[in-house]
Structure 1
Amino acid sequence: MTIFKNKTLEGYILKIVTIFCMLFLVVTGLLLEQLQWNSWDIALTLVFQAFALTIFSFKFRKRITAGFDRALLHIEAVKMEDYNQYAKSDFDEGNSNELHLALKALSQHLQQQKSRYDQHAFLLYQLIDQLNTPMLVFNKKQKLTYANAAFSILYNQPWQMYRLASPKLLGLIETDSGWSIPRKGQQWQISQSKFIDSGEEHFLLVFTNIDSALRASQLNAWQQIIRVMGHEIRNSLTPVSSLAESLSTQMISPREQSALALISDRCLHLQDFINRYSSLSQQLDLHYQSIELSSFVERLKALNPELEVTTQVKESKLWGDTTFLEQVFINLLKNAKEAGATKVKFTIVRVKNKCKIELEDNGHGFANTDNLFVPLFTTKPQGQGIGLTFCRNIIEQHKGTIDLENNADLANKNSQTGVTISITLPLTS
């Protein structure tokens, strides 16, 4: 019978006890027969003894295996990360007691490790929440379980609105080269890593906006060009300007004097041109102060009486450099007028801990919006290609962002013309 095979402890105990009981009953039967008991009494005695031995066998087997059953329950609790369940041995000494003591020590050790891990995980989640880089956590079923506050940068809503959403619902695309997310006007690099939390595998997606890095590289290249050009042009203009001024004092003919004056004037114009472009490479000295947005907009309206300016101000104050920010909006309103705009709408709202300012005009818009923030690029016949670049430089040094889009390119404004400029600035420094 398979029950007597020694593959299990229970089988081994049952085998040994059965052999012992059988031998005991045989010996008992022989002794009673030698004492000349009658067959009925011997049979009745052996039946009672067999019954007693059976009860003893089960109790003995239960006593031996009970410690192992409790140990198994202890191990199962450990697997479920319940380290407060301890199994106690029936014996105060010996191997059984040592086994249960070892399991208890293992539980305490794992409890300490889990406590340290939970502390590290808590600190990690706190760190993630403080970062301005969007970070998303998905469980093994690819359901969103956590994200930091920067999630709103991607989706303009708190991450709780997308709890348990799949990557597909969030617009994430997984390819052989990794994850990607299509975003017009933004380029995101997504890195993935895996970690274990509460015994379950999760994966973390970290989003890095590489637009700023690309722009910094691009701006650095333009700054190098401007510095080299400025150096060479200044070295050439200085002697030309001096020579023209010197010759103009020696010339009698009005025509010759006029020609030399023109040369001198153009030299000064070129020097001014180079000085203006060299400002792109300078770090601004910002003087932060509280800006009353209603008064801020009213000043802009007073400077542009030819424009019909409407406002929708839902945020009262902003923290920034008044002079530089005013110059930004003066430039933007000047661009709107040059684009034929007669109406401009200001919308100022609060989005999380940031102030969002939208400037919408009814001009003819831009024929090409791809390179508007590139230095020296302009769509105006007499433009110099510095205005929008200078505006973005000021906004980004305020740790903000600026985006520009033709209204005809917006899905919900197909019938309108003009441009919408969106500027996002921190409410505090």
Structure 2
Amino acid sequence: MTHDRRVQLGALLGALPALVLAGILLARAPWPLPWKLLLFAACAAAAAVSLRALRRRVQRPLQTLANILTAIREGDYSFRAREPADADALGEVYHELNVLSELLQQQRMKAMEATALLRAVMAEIDVAVFAFDGEDLLRLVNRAGEALLGSPQERLLGRPAAELGLAAALDGEGAQLADMAFPARAGRFDLRRGTFRQGGRVHRLLVVSDLTRPLRQEERKVWHQVIRVLGHEINNSLAPIQSLSESLLRILERQGEDWMDDTRQGLGIIASRAQGLGRFMEGYTRLARLPEPCRAPVDLEVLVRRVAGLEQRCEVRVHPGPPVTLQADGDQLAQALINLVRNAVDAGAPVDLGWTVQGPAVELRVEDRGPGLPTGGNLFVPFFSTKAGGSGIGLVLSRQIAEAHGGSLGLANREGGGACASLRLPLG
């Protein structure tokens, strides 16, 4: 039996003695029988109407409370109960439910705002964030993580860490520095791991920070300052030396003395070396003055064949890849390729030049048949060169051009002998 029916039955049992008493009194009254039955029926009808009204008065508040509690359970906090004008026990219950709904609605709004802020921050930070569940399936990735893996979020969520190439990065504890190669980028990364709970289950968090570009930028700033200081000081010293040498040469020519030949020759060497040093420093200052890329559509095959045709010392064999059009600075990319091809020709002919598309990037490869790369990590250090008379700025300038376009430049020895320079550029 329901609660309202039990209340109705209790009221009926309470009213039953009164009905029995009314029947007894009507039976003893000196009235006609039809009148007695009519009066008894009226009393019974009044009792039935009162009981039905009582049941409704019990049902309505309980239904209101049930509706509000159902809405709260379903996450809808907009329902409110109409509070009576006079404060009573039921009114207090309505008031407390309304306050609870308002409080839950405010807390839900704050949680939604905090979640929206967190998502906005995660989307804008230049740090890749990945979240994996207990089965190592990817459940959360931000925009930087999509760029690092070279795929949109829809294609990444639900895939295992091993398939994404993140199993090695996910294993371990705490922070770690590691050299890794991702589909869109390769270099040195800072790996940080942690755990959190969602829905009562333990999830693992992986934060990947690219340290390559910040290190390169700081390194470049230092070298820029050094180059500017050296250029300023040496140019200030070379200008008077060159002027004085030329003046002395003119004076000696007017003298016309034979014994002055050696002196004239020495001064000529001084003037020549001063000019050479000036050209030498001018080449170095190009590192500090590389402008920002002026991007425009560049047909990669046309650019590669033009660069290959500039080398006359040996044949540069072009291995075409798929058609690619880059949004890049054609002059800067041509200069970077010229430097790489020139180094390859100096190392050993023949030279192979080609490209392949790998996900969101295109990789240009310049391969030679030389002795390979020397040991040590000085190949990208400005002023360092393994060639006699080399300036030591070609590789540094090429890498600077690649990174200005959002790409990278790598060097490696080939298995069959020789070296390979890989210039990686984004397609977007």
Amino acid of the residue matched to residue 131 of structure 2?
V
Q: Which of 337, 348, 355 pairs up with 1:329? A: 337
Q: Which amino acid aligns with 1:212?
A: R
Whether 1:422 aligns to 2:416 is no
Pairing partner for 2:69 from 68, 74, 77: 74
Q: Aligned partners of 2:107, 2:195: CA distance in 1, in Å?
A: 20
Correspondence for 2:366: 359
Residue of structure 2 equivalent to 1:402: 409
2:286 to 273, 279, 283: 279
Q: 1:368 to 1:398 in 2, by over 3 A?
A: same
- Would the aligned equivalents of 2:349 and 2:370 in 1 still touch at CA under 8 Å? yes
The 2-side partners of 1:420 and 1:148 are apart by: 34
**Aligned match for 2:180, one of 163, 166, 183:** 183
**Partners of 2:344 and 2:367 within 8 A in 1:** no
* Post-superposition CA distance 1:78-98 (Å, at most 9, x none): 5x6633697989x99743454
Instruction: Check whether the contact 1:172–1:180 (CA below 8 A) recurs between aligned residues.
Output: no
Residue identity in the other structure for 1:310: V
Instruction: Indicate the structure whose relative CO is greater, using CA pairs within 8 Å and at least 6 residues apart.
Output: 2
Are the aligned partners of 1:406 and 1:417 in contact in 2 as well (CA < 8 Å)? yes
Unpaired runs of at least 5, structure 2? 1-9, 14-54
Structure 1 residue 152: Cα displacement: 5.2
**Matched residues in 2 for 1:254 and 1:344: separation?**
51
Q: In terms of mean alpha carbon deviation, does 195-204 or 244-253 score higher?
A: 195-204
Q: Which residue of 2 aligns with 1:412?
A: none
What is the CA deviation profile of residues 251-297 of structure 1, one whole-angstrom value per residue up to 9, with x for unaligned ones? 34443322221111111111111121122222415432211222112
1:345 corresponds to 2:342: no
Match for residue 265 of structure 2?
A: 258
| Match of residue 114 from structure 1 | 108
Instruction: Identify the match of residue 326 of structure 2 among 309, 318, 333.
Output: 318
CA distance in structure 1 between the partners assigned to 2:373 and 2:190 by the alignment = 29
In the superposition, relative to structure 1, how do residues 364 and 157 fare at CA in structure 2: closer, same or farther (>3 Å)?
farther
Gap runs ≥5 in structure 1: 1-16, 22-59, 409-415
* Residue-by-residue CA offset, 1:168-224 (whole Å, 9 max, x unaligned): 72522443x536555277232356789897898977644322222222222222222
Letter in 2 for 1:137: A
- One-letter amino acid of the structure 2 residue matched with residue 311 of structure 1: H
Indicate which of 287, 296, 300 corresponds to 1:293.
300
Secondary structure of 1:186 counterpart: strand
Letter of the structure 2 residue corresponding to residue 320 of structure 1 = A
| Mapped partners of 2:397, 2:106: distance in 1 | 56
User: Which is worse superposed, 255-264 or 327-336?
Assistant: 255-264
What amino acid does structure 2 have at the position aligned with 1:367?
P
Q: Does 1:95 align with 2:93?
A: no
How much has 1:318 moved relative to structure 2?
A: 1.1
Give, in whole Å, the separation in 1 of the partners of 2:247 and 2:389. Answer: 31
Deviation at 1:356, TM superposition (A): 3.8
Q: How many Å separate the matches in 1 of 2:366 and 2:194? A: 40
Task: Say if 1:400 and 1:182 are closer, same or farther in 2 by CA, change over 3 A.
Answer: closer
CA contact under 8 A between 1:284 and 1:397: conserved in structure 2? no
Q: Does 1:171 align with 2:169?
A: yes
Distance 1:150 1:351, change over 3 A: farther
CA contact (8 A) 1:319 1:426 kept: no
Displacement of 1:326 in angstroms is 0.7
Pair 1:195–1:156, CA change in 2 (3 A): same
Bigger CA drift: 366-375 or 94-103? 94-103
TM-score normalised by structure 2 residue count: 0.68
Q: Is the 8 A contact 1:173 1:180 kept in 2?
A: no
Q: How many residues align?
A: 368
- Please say if residues 180 and 188 of structure 2, whose CA atoms lie closer than 8 Å, have aligned partners that are also in contact: yes
1:54-65 aligned at under 5 Å gives the runs: none
Aligned mates of 1:286, 1:161 — CA distance in 2:
32
Partners in 2 of 1:202 and 1:109 — Cα distance? Answer: 30
Judge conservation of contact 2:128–2:209 (CA < 8 Å) in 1.
yes
Q: Once the 2 structures are TM-superposed, how far is the Cα of residue 361 of structure 1 from its aligned partner?
A: 3.7
In 2: Cα distance, 1:279 partner to 1:97 partner: 82
Cα 1:180–1:74 shift into 2, 3 Å: farther
Q: Which residue of 2 aligns with 1:244?
A: 245
Match of 2:33 in 1: none
Aligned-residue sequence identity (percent) comes to 28
Paired residues of 2:317 and 2:352 also in contact (CA < 8 A): yes
SS in 2 for 1:375: coil
Seen in structure 2, the aligned counterparts of structure 1 residues 316 and 155 have a Cα distance that, compared at 3 Å, is closer
Q: Which deviations, in whole Å up to 9, do the C-alpha atoms of 1:303-362 show, x marking residues without a partner?
A: 23523423233243111222121111011100111111313131142633x444333444
Q: Distance in 2 between matches of 1:81 and 1:199?
A: 20
Cα 1:172/1:182, change in 2 over 3 Å: farther
Name the CA distance, whole Å, in 2 between partners of 1:260 and 1:309. Answer: 47
**1:235 is matched by which residue type in structure 2?**
N
Query: Which residue does 2:30 correspond to in 1?
Result: none
Match of 2:3 in 1: none
Task: Look up the match of 2:51.
Answer: none
Aligned equivalents of 1:332 and 1:338: distance in 2?
10
Aligned pair in 2 of structure 1 residues 258, 402: CA closer, same or farther (>3 Å)? Answer: same
Given that residues 169 and 191 in structure 2 are in contact (C-alpha distance below 8 angstroms), is that contact kept between their aligned partners in structure 1?
no
Q: Counterpart of 2:27?
A: none
Give 1:136 shift. 1.7
Partner of 1:219: 220
C-alpha contact 1:83 1:110 (8 A) present in aligned 2: no
Provide the rounded CA distance (Å) in 2 between the counterparts of 1:355 and 1:123: 35
